[in-house]
Chains A and B, each alone.
Chain A
Amino acid sequence: MVQIVIRSSVDGSSPAEWLLVELQGEMFSRHNSALAGNVMGDLLYTIEGVPVLIVGHHILYGKQVKLEKPFAVLTKHSSHLQDSRGCRDSDNENNDVPQLPMETKQPGAPSTSYCVTALIKRKLIFKTRPKPIITNVPKKL
């Protein structure tokens, strides 16, 4: 049987809280390149606290919502036995952590584990239809 541990912290402290930004639809880069490194958009808030997102030529209005079911962001770690990379609990392990044999039958076989990198309890959700920003408004002559 495969057993994969999800460790709840890297150093014994509670995981950080991040924010979720949810958009309807997919995101494509204009130049069809990978997304990493690219600008996504500008996020602002009105005085009343309404989140506004400007993406390319569009404005989206959204709202802040508390998640009914929070999320955990898990990061995968593959390590060989005796490998000290990846998540590590503090040395005096929480006594509640079940002592599970992580080893597979083959010594040196890679074992997978996950770490909770962050918890997400709130999100900004942008559901309204993007309003295009018209850049070229011909002036009436």
Chain B
Amino acid sequence: MRTLEEVQATLQIAKLQDEELQKTIHCLSFGDNVSSADYCLLELDDTLCKLIETGESLVIRGDADEHAVLCTKDRTYDLKIADTSNMLMFVPDCRTPDQLTNSQENSHIVHTQIWGFSNSYWELRKQRPKLKKLKKVLMENPYEGPALGGKEEDTENRYTMEDLLESIQASEEELKTSLEAVHACRIDGYWRMLDFDYEMKLLGHLTQLVDSESWAFNRVPLQTCLEELAPLEPKQMIEHCLNCYGKRYSENDDVLYALDEDRVCRGMALMLLQNAVKFNLREFQEVWQQSVPEGMSTRLDQLKSVALVDRSSRPETINLLRVEDLSEDTLERFNQLFTLREKWTEDDITPYIKDLCGEKQSTGALLTKHARSSMQNGIKVFNSRRPVAT
């Protein structure tokens, strides 16, 4: 251990005058803990720091073949190890000048231990949660309706919320939002995605009932729906369908639903588009309008990110293209899009790249990075930066 005399001798040789210095001298030495490998540094942002200070825990999640992510209740971060050429030492009891009381008259030593050191730390980057896996997992056993006479319901591959948290790299809030987005329903404690045909069947029952009862589509009474459709489907599923395609509200003692025009129209379009590779655009638009409840108007912009219109072909066509079926990896996504179509207008491509944007990134920035622009017939179009295999 250094003594005050030794320190002062060094200071003298170093030509540091007593009067220039504050009285407290920290003699730093390495504590016993430094050689244990059981600690590390985690870089935080302000949000995370506050979370930790209020006592919230964080979770690291990852499968053997996935990169690890860090989750809070509602956010997901990518985890990476960053190296630095500098040496970072962490010292528990070291005071900075603003913390020194300078009450002592004479120089004195404070023996201070360095608890640990590192030249690397965990770096965090906010990330879009990888939800493709959620869909994949839920589609292992989609719900097709109640088991029909004698047939056993498939109880394999069913997931509770806890099961999902264990297999999906996302925070709980993000998971809940995604479950809602894919119209998943909690049946018997398990989160189930509906088989597409079954979901359309439910929606079909609903829209037909609305038409036959001549209800305004923003005043659909829950009770009557349940009574009229009970012979056809379980009440839980009828109510689930109403929740997916409408908004619940109360008037006096009655519970009503306002069906969402965009969602219903989109659902009906998906039903029609599922069955063919490409549709004649004009024919499609006619059939589509006829298929939706009285009073609702179909518009092509309701189909952004689920269908693609080809205005360069004669006749014009439309086909199913769902962004959720494309890759989650940015480079791969652009590759897929440019393979499907060589040149895209900004209007057409934006719905298919919006979800790739980082926190402060715009689709324009993404396009600048991953595509090349040119003018075609006076309109700006984008094509691939690299040669795409045809």
Contact = CB atoms under 8 A, between A and B. Distances in A.
B43 A21 contact: no
A84 interface: no
A79 interface: no
A19 B97 CA distance: 12
A105 to B, nearest CB: 10
Count chain A CB atoms within 10 A of each CB in B16, B57, B112 and give the residue with the most.
B57
Given A35-B30, A37-B32, A2 B62 contact: yes
B52 A100 contact: no
A52 B44 contact: no
Count chain B CB atoms within 10 A of each CB in A12, A100, A119 and give the residue with the most.
A100
A81 interface: no
Contacts of A37: 29-30, 32
A42 B60 contact: no
Nearest to B110: A43
Given A40-B30, A71-B42, A74-B40, A47 B58 contact: no
Interface in A111-141: 116-122, 124, 133-135
Interface in B22-43: 22, 24-35, 38-43
Interface residues of B, number: 79
Contacts of B19: 47
A94 B53 CA distance: 13
Contact of A22 (B46, B89, B92): B89
B389 interface: no
Contacts, number: 240
Contact of B28 (A8, A36, A43): A43
Contacts of A47: 19-22
A14 B50 CA distance: 10
B57 A5 contact: yes
Interface of A: 1-9, 12, 14-16, 18-27, 34-47, 49, 51-52, 54, 59, 64, 69-77, 89, 94, 96-101, 116-122, 124, 133-135
Interface of B: 1-2, 7, 10-11, 13-14, 16, 19-22, 24-35, 38-46, 48-49, 51-64, 68, 70, 73, 85-92, 94, 96-98, 100, 112, 114-117, 119, 121, 162, 165-169, 172
The 3 A-B pairs with the shortest beta carbon distances in the complex, nearest first, are: A49-B97, A43-B26, A4-B60
